[in-house]
Amino acid sequence: MKQKKNPNIKLAEPANLEKLKKAARKRKRARAKKWGITIILAIMIIGGTYLLVKNQSYTKVREAANYEDETSDTNRYAQFADGIVRYSRDGVVFLNKKNEEQWIQPCQMQNPAIDVNENTFAVADSGGNSILVFTEEGLKGEIETTLPIEKMSVSDQGIVSVILKNESSPMIVSYDATGNILVEHQVTVNSTGYPLALDMSRDGTTLAVSYLFTKDGALKSRVAFYNFGEAGKAKTDNQVSMEEYDGKIIPEVYFMDDATSVAVSDSSFIVYEGKDAPQKKKEVKLNQEIKSVFHTDKYIGFVLLNKGKSGYEARLYNKSGKQIMNKAFTGEYSNIKMVKDEIIMFAGSKCCIITKNGVLRFKGDLKAEALEVIPSRGVNRYLVISANELRIVYLTK
In sequence order, the β-bridge partners of residue 20 are: none
In a domain, 84, yes or no: yes
383 in Cβ contact with 396 (< 8 Å): no
In a domain, 222, yes or no: yes
Q: How far apart are the first and last CA of the chain?
A: 93
Range of the domain at 116: 80-336
> What are the backbone dihedrals phi and psi of residue 232, each rounded to the nearest 5 degrees, phi first?
-105, 0
Cα dihedral 106, 107, 113, 116 sign: negative
In a domain, 112, yes or no: yes
Q: What is the pLDDT of residue 379?
A: 87
In a domain, 2, yes or no: no
CATH number at residue 136: 2.130.10.10
In a domain, 149, yes or no: yes
- Report, as ranges of residue numbers, the positions in the chain whose pLDDT lies below 70: 1-17, 20, 41-55
Q: What is the pLDDT of residue 4?
A: 53
54: part of which helix (H) or strand (E)? helix 17-54
Q: What is the pLDDT of residue 27?
A: 77
In a domain, 63, yes or no: no
Q: Residues with Cβ < 8 Å from 31, sequence gap 6 or more?
A: none
Closest CA to 255 of 275, 228, 235, 237: 275
In a domain, 221, yes or no: yes
* Total structural domains within the chain: 1
Q: CA angle at residue 106 from 104 to 107, to 5 degrees?
A: 145
HSE-up of residue 307 (Cα within 13 Å, Cβ side): 4
Q: What is the pLDDT of residue 44?
A: 63
- What would the DSSP string read from start to end of 289-319? -EEEEEE-SS-EEEEEEPSSSSSEEEEEE-T
User: pTM of whole model > 0.75?
Assistant: yes
- Measure the CA–CA gap between 185 and 114, rounded to whole angstroms: 23
- Measure the CA–CA gap between 334 and 353, rounded to whole angstroms: 14
248 in Cβ contact with 265 (< 8 Å): yes
99: part of which helix (H) or strand (E)? none
pLDDT digits (tens, 9 = 90+) for 221-265: 999 999 999 999 999 999 999 999 999 999 999 999 999 999 999
Q: Residues with Cβ < 8 Å from 207, sequence gap 6 or more?
A: 153, 161, 172, 174, 198, 199, 200, 201, 225, 226, 227, 228
- Measure the CA–CA gap between 301 and 312, rounded to whole angstroms: 13
In a domain, 226, yes or no: yes
Write the CA distances from 342 to 131, 292, 314, 352, 359, integer angstroms. Answer: 31, 15, 11, 10, 9
Q: Residues with Cβ < 8 Å from 236, sequence gap 6 or more?
A: none
304 in Cβ contact with 290 (< 8 Å): yes
